Amino acid sequence: MTAITNLLDLDPAQLIAYCGELGEKPFRAKQLQRWIHQFGVSDFEAMTDLAKSLRDKLTGRACVSSPVVISDHTSTDGTRKWLLDVGQGNAIETVFIPEENRGTLCISTQAGCAVNCRFCSTGKQGFNRNLTVAEIIGQLWMAEFELRKTKGIPVGHKGERQITNVVMMGMGEPLLNFEPTVTALKLMLDDNAYGLSRRRVTLSTSGVVPMIDKLSQECAVALAVSLHASNDSLRDSLIPLNKKHPLAELMAACRRYLEFAPRDFVTFEYCMLDAVNDSDQHARELIELVRTVPCKFNLIPFNPFPESGLKRSNNQRIKAFAQILTDAGLVTTIRKTRGDDIDAACGQLAGEVQDRTRVQERMQKQAEYQKKFGPNFGQIVEIT
């Protein structure tokens, strides 16, 4: 039997090639893309300007299928979070953040995450697998047309775009799932699909240096880096990946990336952790660290979860930290916490992951040993 092709898996060039295999001309691919990504139509028979012969070819050979929605919750502040089924007991989370002049969708790229940052609940779920293109772009497809429905815009009608910005900041490290992530990015940017500006699509990475360079050549979008520390020893303890790609390498990669980026700065995300990375000295170290990297800082109040053992810096400390950076001429913002009442805030996305890296099992064992031998006994073996 011929495998069914999910058209959400195909970027513009791949869809043209697929239509060619069916004996169709390239303009048919553009028609298909518009029906799927601009009108939200998954029924080929409803694609009325396609030739009947093409609709017949597609029926039984192709489909348009995004991950199934398990749950859909809306916060008191309007933030909306979907839990999506990606099979074999795995579920991912996607979050929409409405603001006055834009709507931002936060997309996941992996079921779980192998980087295991200390302050992120996703990493404590462990890692199962990379998402496919259809599972990544399917989050945007699903969310855009679900949001249109709530506005009374039916499928098949080209209404006002609800999602104006996309951030690859959900579950997973995007650059460790490189090819599917880049294919999804190309669809987001394509004028016959979502037509988003490169400036309005942001990829956030914990610092996979070789892939930052590769991204600059293949699909340079706005870059955000999860920094969270001002020196290597501290960052090693918070982000195990830093042992492989230390700060000097990461800063050099950021400088190289800016030669190709749509924005003339890198955003450094910095999670504010009480008595861990929030002192005046840490702020002064940051100023030195980024001296040669055009950047802005986004300070993120930590969203606590039990397994982390960490606390949020108080508001006064966050403001004082921000002032030191601002006084040094660095553009600095403090992120407003959104959706924390539905666990949709930064660092809270956990989904449901069948952990094949056994992170939770190892954490439990470490907790047992620390209870028996003291809090400083042992250290979880991190995956890098």
Backbone dihedral region for residue 329 (phi beyond 0: left; psi -120 to 50: alpha; all else: beta): left
How far is residue 32's CA from residue 6's CA, in Å, rounded to a whole number? 12
- Sequence length of the chain is 384
Side-chain half-sphere of 201: how many Cα atoms within 13 Å? 22
Q: How far apart are the C-alpha atoms of 168 and 156, rounded to whole Å?
A: 27
Active site residues: 93, 346
CA–CA gap between residue 83 and residue 70 (Å, rounded): 5
